[in-house]
Amino acid sequence: MNIANNILKNSLKNVYFLTGTACGGKTTMAKELSKKYGFVHFNDNWHEDNFKQWQSIIDEKYQKAASQRETVTDWEAWFGRSVEEFLADQDKYNDGDEYLEFAVIELIKLSQNNKVIADICASFELLAELTDYNHIACLLAPAEMIIRDYYDRADHKEFIECIMSLKEPKKKLETQNELFRIGAQKAFDDVKKHNLFSIVRSDESTIEGTLKLLENHFNLTK
């Protein structure tokens, strides 16, 4: 059974979506909105409970991409791939929309009696079909800002330490930086393509200023 997106959209009317690039401020803004308005904060952190639960029920018949994903055991080989090889694997193991199916079920349950702010990564095209214009915001950071700030975050410490422990770490790091550039450009392009509201982070951006823009876009202020 396939449930049409317009039916899902009606069931997600109490959900506000934040998506975008790394370092765009999604999690920070989700926490601020939750604190101020009492929203339930749904975060799709793939490495914690939500993803583990999803992994436990995947079936190759329905989640082909996810069922084929292999656990990384050789980090030298993983990070030693070229940009082209990384991108090819992204296409091969494109399980983001499969994950979104699981997330949508959780969001429908959470939003029955609550407003929910969903800080998730999914295709902009699909999210645009699942919600109204004023219920989705894309928080973007320019590629060079992502490259500058990403590795300094406490939750990315293991990521950078792993790369720096490998052979030719500068080369491997530049590969990751190029992937950030490609991903950021795609995000900026997709925002325009699907006519989505966006906020681009700069060094002058403030939490208060960004929060105000989101409140206005989400019609949370009168």
Q: What are the pLDDT digits (tens) for 144-182?
A: 999 999 999 998 999 999 999 999 999 999 999 999 999
Q: Determine the pLDDT at residue 57.
A: 82
Q: Specify the amino acid at residue 133.
A: Y
pTM of the model: 0.89
Res 73 pLDDT > 60: yes
Q: Specify the amino acid at residue 173.
A: L
Q: Specify the amino acid at residue 72.
A: V
Arithmetic mean of pLDDT over the chain: 89
Res 51 pLDDT > 90: no
Q: Determine the pLDDT at residue 174.
A: 97
- Helix boundaries (H) for the chain: 5-11, 26-37, 49-57, 64-68, 75-79, 83-92, 96-110, 124-130, 143-149, 157-164, 169-193, 207-217
Does some domain include residue 222?
Answer: no
Which residue range forms the structural domain that includes residue 126?
A: 5-217
Q: Tell me how many domains the chain contains.
A: 1
Q: Determine the pLDDT at residue 63.
A: 75
Sheet holding 116-119, edge to edge: 40-43, 116-119, 15-20, 136-140, 198-200
Q: Determine the pLDDT at residue 190.
A: 95
Does some domain include residue 179?
Answer: yes
CATH code: domain of residue 196: 3.40.50.300
Q: Determine the pLDDT at residue 48.
A: 57
Q: In this predicted structure, which of 44-48, 188-192, 194-198 has the lowest mean pLDDT?
A: 44-48
Higher-confidence residue of 199 and 4: namely 199
Res 99 pLDDT > 90: no
Q: Determine the pLDDT at residue 47.
A: 44
Q: Determine the pLDDT at residue 140.
A: 97
